[in-house]
Structure 1
Amino acid sequence: MSGKKTFIVEHLDPELGPWSELEYIAIAKESQATNTAFILSSLPDGFRVPTTLQDVEAFTAEKRGVEELYAGKKEKVCLLDPAAAKDLCPEDGEAFEAFLFGGILGDDPPRDRTSELRKKGFEGRRLGPKQMTTDTAVRVTRMVVQDKIALDKVSYTDFPELKFSQHESTEMPFRYVADKDGNPIMPEASS
């Protein structure tokens, strides 16, 4: 079952915040570049999909939830869940066709919003002990199930410090995938 993978973010907020928008754009663009699909599901009535997302072919906005989208195929959906008993592994790319994320994943401190999806009975996998942003969680999952990189072989940077000026910086309280230079891969700010 190594066909095209689908990454689903079950949107759990009534609106779309600016940081989430940047993360969703990053997921959509990476999905396009890697021949995967990105579905933003459970969108409330009146939800405004940003033009930058509408323009990406790999992206689909859905009012339906994952239970309706995968009715009768629940076993094909893997829930990325910090409380799961098993870690995600490359073989999971053969077992599952869709990977489900509960947005917003980047809460600090975590509020276990994944519990809303856990109750629906999807089989779960962990991405390790540290909290990730939504785009990072999707990126790591794609690397493991599509690129077949073991979870412990993914290069990370934890809690990076972002410097805005000589006297101003902030520490991001999340784990990120590191690029070839060891810098965190983050969404690009919109122009």
Structure 2
Amino acid sequence: MANLNSPTGKTFVVEHLDPELEEWSSLEYFAIASECHESGAQFLLSSVPQSLELPERLQQAKSLKVETRGIEEIYANQKDRVCLLDPAASRDLSPDDGDTFDIFLFGGILGDDPPRDRTSELRKKGYQGRRLGPVQMTTDTAVRVTRIVVQDRVAVDKIPSVDHPELKINENESTEMPFRYVLGKDGQPIMPEGMVDLIKKDSEKGLSDLL
């Protein structure tokens, strides 16, 4: 089996855990893969059901590896180098963790609202855990923050961010996003390409159902 670790950066692993792939997850995964490619890191989707066919755009994404095996099997001999990003962990992630861990594991739970403790399945396997603060993040944001901390060596509380930003749907409607986002150079929350349009479309669909 080829070495799944990136030669220059870290490896970021999302255990998919779901039999389907929602459109919003696809957008998040593509964003993660693109940013990992740009930063010399690698993105691994593990536990992907054999029956799940990824969209062509994801199949062609650089720095993305797809595995049907679970994290426990893939990194059986590197368990001490795996860090589980866990909202229930007792310690926050720090830049020094970049020296301790090579692989950073996300259980696909960070984008849930209200949050479900799906990370418990991974926690029981004995991985060392770190948290990213008290506010829920989308999966792509959690990977983005983790990468900035362990590769760029910036402390979590020094990363510009915004909690629960309002997204304008139209002239009369807006929606509050229930997550923390990293702020881009333009001062706006960083979201995957196409995500705002998807949120607007879903919101408008929801409003039409009420009429």
1:4, distance to aligned residue in structure 2 (A): 2.4
2:8–2:40 CA contact under 8 A, matched in 1 = no
| Contact 1:88/1:126, CA 8 A, preserved across alignment | yes
Alpha-carbon distance in structure 2 between the residues aligned to 1:61 and 1:168: 39
SS of 2:167's equivalent in the other structure is strand
- Pick one of 163, 180, 190 that aligns with 2:185: 180
Cα contact 1:38–1:60 (8 A) shared by 2: yes
Letter in 2 for 1:74: K
Q: Deviation per CA, 1:79-99: give whole Å up to 9, x if none.
A: 000111110000101110000
Deviation at 1:75, TM superposition (A): 0.3
Counterpart check, 1:64 vs 2:33? no
Aligned mates of 2:9, 2:186 — CA distance in 1: 30
Identity %: 64
Structure 1, unpaired ranges of 5+: none
Counterpart check, 1:44 vs 2:49: yes
Aligned to 2:25: 20
Runs of 4+, deviation exceeding 6 Å: none
Shift, 1:3, TM fit:
4.7
Is 1:169 the counterpart of 2:166? The answer is no
Provide the aligned length of Structure 1 versus Structure 2: 190
Q: Which runs of 5+ in 2 are unaligned?
A: 1-6, 198-211
Question: Taking structure 2 as the reference length, what is the TM-score of the superposition?
Answer: 0.87
- Equivalent residue for 2:209? none
- Once the two structures are TM-superposed, the CA of residue 36 in structure 1 deviates from its matched residue by 0.3
Contact 2:43 2:64 in 1 (8 A): yes
Which residue matches 2:131?
Answer: 126
1:85-124 aligned within 5 A: 85-124=90-129
Bigger relative contact order (CA 8 A; separation at least 6): 1
Residue number among 148, 155, 164 corresponding to 1:150 in the alignment? 155
- What is the TM-score normalised by the length of structure 1? 0.96
Structural RMSD (CA): 1.4
